[in-house]
């Protein structure tokens, strides 16, 4: 095993999780800054050429975990590995953000869904060779369909 060390921190408009949009149709359009520590700045070389980035981060305010839970977007329980729950055995988050611009060690981005001060573990260019029509959305698509067309009571 390894001991991950932050490469920077997130400047986000969100102070608590209740402010972060959740659920079907939630839009993550919040802008903020990925502040990369000076000793890692050289690693940002050529990052401006990418429109989107994977941000790997830590749910640093999450405590404990549960393997089965009911997410806020559904009334049925699902396994933690089939959700984006912060209550995970390894509290690691993954978000795709749009890179707006770079200013030295600061990456200005859109699409944040994490709290202000969240530690960043890594950045990677977002690349996908999977066509959108081949992606399946599992239980989330089913929950959205139930919300759009509720059963008569």
Q: How much of the chain exceeds pLDDT 90, in percent?
A: 66
Hey, which CATH number is domain 9-148, 2.60.40.10, 3.30.413.10, 3.30.110.30, 2.40.30.70?
2.40.30.70
Distance CA 105, CA 55 (A): 15
CA dihedral 94, 123, 111, 45 (to 10 degrees): -170
- Which residue is listed with tokens 């921190």? 9
- Give the pLDDT confidence score for residue 153 in this predicted structure: 64
Query: Domain segments of the chain: what residues?
Result: 9-148
**Mean pLDDT for the chain overall:** 91
93 neighbors 57 (Cβ within 8 angstroms) = yes
pLDDT one-digit tens code per residue, 95-121 = 999 999 999 999 999 999 999 999 999
Residue 91 CB neighbours (<10 A): 17
> 20 or 42, which is more confident?
42
């Amino acid at each position: 095993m390894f001991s991950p060390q932050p490469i920077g921190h997130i400047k986000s408009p969100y102070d608590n999780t209740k402010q972060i949009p959740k659920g079907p149709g939630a839009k993550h359009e919040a802008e903020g800054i990925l502040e990369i520590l000076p000793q890692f700045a050289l690693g940002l070389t050529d990052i401006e050429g990418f429109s989107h980035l994977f941000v790997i981060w830590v749910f640093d305010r999450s405590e404990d975990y549960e393997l089965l839970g009911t997410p806020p977007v559904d009334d049925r329980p699902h396994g933690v590995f089939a959700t984006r729950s912060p209550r995970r055995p390894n509290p690691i988050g993954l978000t795709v953000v749009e890179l707006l611009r770079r200013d030295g060690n600061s990456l200005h981005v859109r699409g944040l869904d994490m709290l202000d001060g969240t530690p960043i573990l890594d950045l990677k260019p977002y690349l996908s060779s999977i066509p959108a029509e081949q992606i399946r959305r599992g239980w989330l698509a089913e929950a959205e369909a139930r919300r759009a067309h509720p059963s008569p009571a």
